[in-house]
Amino acid sequence: YRYMSHVPTRNLTRGVDVIDTRASLLSAERLISGDKYIFIRNAYLQNREFKVRDGDVEDDF
């Protein structure tokens, strides 16, 4: 998008991409059970731990 010189076309293309991404994530929202804040917080913390430890994470199970 950065390399498009025609600003209206660039903005339209970016907007359509954002809407398409959001629409594709709507089905994943059904996986959230319980409090959405806690679910998203835990997912963030798990992802952060995975990145900090370079993928070497202990399985709780």
Asked whether the beta carbons of 13 and 2 are under 8 A apart, the reply is no
Q: Is residue 58 part of a domain?
A: no
Asked whether the beta carbons of 4 and 10 are under 8 A apart, the reply is yes
Identify the domain containing residue 41 by its residue range.
7-52
Q: Is residue 2 part of a domain?
A: no
Q: What is the pLDDT of residues 8-27, one digit of tens each?
A: 999 999 999 999 999 998 88
Q: Is residue 59 part of a domain?
A: no
Handedness of CA 33, 44, 19, 25 (dihedral sign): negative
Asked whether the beta carbons of 29 and 22 are under 8 A apart, the reply is no
**pTM across the whole model:** 0.52
Asked whether the beta carbons of 1 and 14 are under 8 A apart, the reply is yes
Closest CA to 46 of 59, 36, 31: 59
Q: Is the pLDDT confidence value at 33 over 90?
A: no
Q: Is residue 33 part of a domain?
A: yes
Please give the pLDDT value at position 61. Answer: 66
Q: What is the mean pLDDT of residues 30-45?
A: 88
Q: Is residue 61 part of a domain?
A: no
